[in-house]
Copies of this chain bind each other. A is one copy, B any other.
C-alpha cells in the first residue's frame, strides 16, 4: 500500500472522505504524503465497495438531434452540479435496445441511475416482466401510470396551444406533421389529441389527408411530409410540426415549392431549438424550459438513488408558445 508511506491506513481514508474527528496534524501529514506519492483513490474499488459509480446514464434516440443535444447539455451540467457524470447512449430507433437497457439485460450497467427518453410507451414498458433494476426517470413522456417517475410538459396542451395560435392568425386548412406510423408512441398521440381538440374548438374538421406521418423527427422527414401536403389539390395554409426539426424541413419544402412562409403557409414547431431563432424565417414554436426539465430529472434520480422505494412522481414542466416570423410574428 502506497499509503503506508508515512502513517497508517484507516486514517488516510478518514482524511480522504472528510471525516470529522481527525487531528489537524494527522490531516496535514496525510495530505503531504498524498502529494508526494501522487496518490489517487481508485474510483473503481470504491465503487465495488459502495455500490455507487457516480454516473448517470442518459438515453436518447439520437444525440445529434438538436433538442436532445440541448437536453444532454443541460443534463450533463445539472448532473455535474451534484457530483455525477453522464454516460450518453443512443437507441437509434431500436426498441429491443431500449428494452435491454431497461431490464438491465445489458450486462455493462455501470451507472447508478437512468434518464430515459424513450420511444416505447410506458404501456409497452409495463409488459416487460422484469422491472427496472436501476433508479429510472422517464423524459418527455406523459402517459403517467404511477410506476415510473416522469418529467415532461403537458404534450396535449402544448399541441393545443400551438394549433390555437394558427387558428388565431386566421388559418383554416391546418395540417400536422409528426404522427407516428407506430401507434404505440405516446408523445405523438398526445400531440395529435391536442391538435384535434384545437381544431374542434375552432369548429374545424380534422382531415386525414392533413395528417402526415414522420418515420423519425429529423429534417428530411419534415421535408418529405411537407412535400406530400403541398401536392394535395387543396394544400394547407398552416402546418403544425411535432418537433422543430420537422418544421425546419417543412419550411424548406415550402420554399422549394415556390411558396412563402408564412404568407402562403404558416409553420410552427415544438422544442424551441436554437436553430429556429436564427433561421429564415425564424421559427414559431412551443418552448419547453429544457434546463428545468433536466434539473428536475437529475434531482429526481439522485433522490431515488439515495432513497429507493419512493412512490413515482409526475413532474410537469412549463411550456409557452413563442410567436416568430414563421407564423407572421415580428
**Quick one: which of A50-83 are within 8 Å of B by CB?**
53-55, 62-64, 66, 69-70, 72-73, 76-77
Given the complex of chains A and B, what is the CA–CA distance between A278 and B219 in angstroms? 8
Instruction: Assess whether B108 is in contact with A90, with CB atoms less than 8 Å apart.
Output: no
A73 CB contact (under 8 Å) in B62, B70, B249, B279: B62
Residues B252 and A107 in contact, CB atoms below 8 Å apart: no
**Which of A37-45, A115-123, A152-160, A301-309 touches B?**
A37-45
Q: A residues 117-152 with Cβ under 8 Å of B?
A: 130
A165 within 8 Å of B (CB atoms) = no
Q: Verify if A26 is at the interface (C-beta below 8 Å from B).
A: no
Interface of A is mostly: mixed
Q: Chain B residues near A176: list those with CB within 8 A.
A: none
Interface centre among A40, A76, A89, A108 (most CB of B within 10 A): A108
The count of identical subunits is 2
**A209 adjacent to chain B (CB < 8 Å):** no
Asked if A87 and B252 sit within 8 Å, CB to CB, the answer is: no
Q: Is the CB of B219 within 8 A of A44?
A: no
Q: How far apart are the CA atoms of A246 and B57 in the complex, in Å?
A: 31
**A223 CB-CB contact with B under 8 Å:** yes
Find out whether the CB atom of B87 lies under 8 angstroms from the CB atom of A88. Answer: yes
The answer to whether B55 and A63 have CB atoms under 8 Å apart is no
Say if the beta carbon of A202 comes within 8 Å of chain B.
Answer: no
**A43 and B107 contact, Cβ closer than 8 Å, known pairs A64-B72, A279-B280, A280-B255:** yes
Residue ID in chain B nearest A73 by CB atoms: B64
- Interface flag for A85 (CB, 8 Å): yes
Bound CA span A164–B88, Å: 39
Verify A280–B278 contact, CB threshold 8 A: no
Asked if A228 lies at the interface with its beta carbon under 8 angstroms from chain B, I say no
Confirm or deny: A48 has a beta carbon within 8 angstroms of a beta carbon on chain B.
yes
Q: A40-B104, A249-B278 are in contact. Are A63 and B72 (CB under 8 A)?
A: yes
- Kindly state the separation between the CA atoms of A87 and B88 in the bound complex, as whole angstroms: 6
**Are B90's CB and A87's CB within 8 A?**
no
Residue A275 is within 8 A (CB to CB) of chain B in the complex:
yes
Residues of B within 8 A of A90 (CB): 73, 76-77
Query: A45: which B residues are within 8 A, CB to CB?
Result: 48
Q: Separation in Å of the A85 CB from the closest CB of chain B?
A: 6
| Complex contact A85–B77 (CB within 8 A) | no
Residues of B within 8 A of A130 (CB): 38
Known: A63-B69, A76-B88. 5 other contacts (CB 8 A): A44-B48, A45-B48, A62-B73, A88-B88, A110-B110
